[in-house]
């Protein structure tokens, strides 16, 4: 069994109904999508991190290692946007 599976099956929130966890996650996604600025996504990140670390009692070291994957994705996306915004202003689509 993988380490992440062991934490999924033995954490303190394992007895919470999956539908309730799904509803909570969906509300957080909607809040992030509906917000215009970065404040709501940062608050959702703090709320979800608190739920994992304090609610589910997953060790911070394990959570930190698991967060490296999405953080790397965000950094790669930010670098791509930074390079695309600095371009010559031309269009990729030819005129019709």
Domain contains 95: no
Query: Domain range holding 10?
Result: 3-82
Which has more pLDDT, 94 or 43?
43
User: Which pLDDT does position 12 carry in this prediction?
Assistant: 92
DSSP labels, 30-43? HHHHH-SSSHHHHH
In a domain, 62, yes or no: yes
Report d(CA 12, CA 58) in Å as an integer. Answer: 8
Residue 96 pLDDT class (50, 70, 90 cuts): low
Whether residue 94 is contained in a domain is answered as no
**pLDDT, tens digit (0-9, with 9 covering 90-100), for 3-59:** 888 888 899 999 999 999 999 999 999 999 999 999 999 999 999 999 999 999 999
End-to-end CA distance of the chain: 56
Query: In this structure, are residues 11 and 2 in contact, taking their beta carbons and an 8 Å threshold?
Result: no
pLDDT at 82: 82
Give me the number of domains the chain comprises: 1
Alpha helices in the chain (DSSP H): 3-10, 18-34, 39-50, 60-85
Kindly state the tokens that stand for 72. 């790397």
Confirm if 62 and 7 have CB atoms less than 8 A apart.
yes
Structure-token match 């709320």, residue found: 47
pTM of the complete model: 0.74
């Amino acid at each position: 069994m993988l380490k992440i599976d062991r934490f999924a099956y033995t954490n303190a929130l394992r007895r919470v109904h999956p539908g309730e966890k799904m509803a909570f996650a969906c509300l957080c996604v909607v809040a992030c999508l509906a917000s215009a600025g970065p404040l709501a996504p940062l608050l959702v990140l703090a709320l979800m991190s608190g739920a994992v670390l304090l609610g589910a009692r997953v060790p911070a070291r394990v959570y930190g290692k698991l967060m490296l994957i999405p953080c790397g994705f965000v950094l790669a996306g930010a670098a791509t946007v930074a390079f695309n915004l600095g371009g010559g202003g031309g269009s990729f689509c030819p005129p019709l």
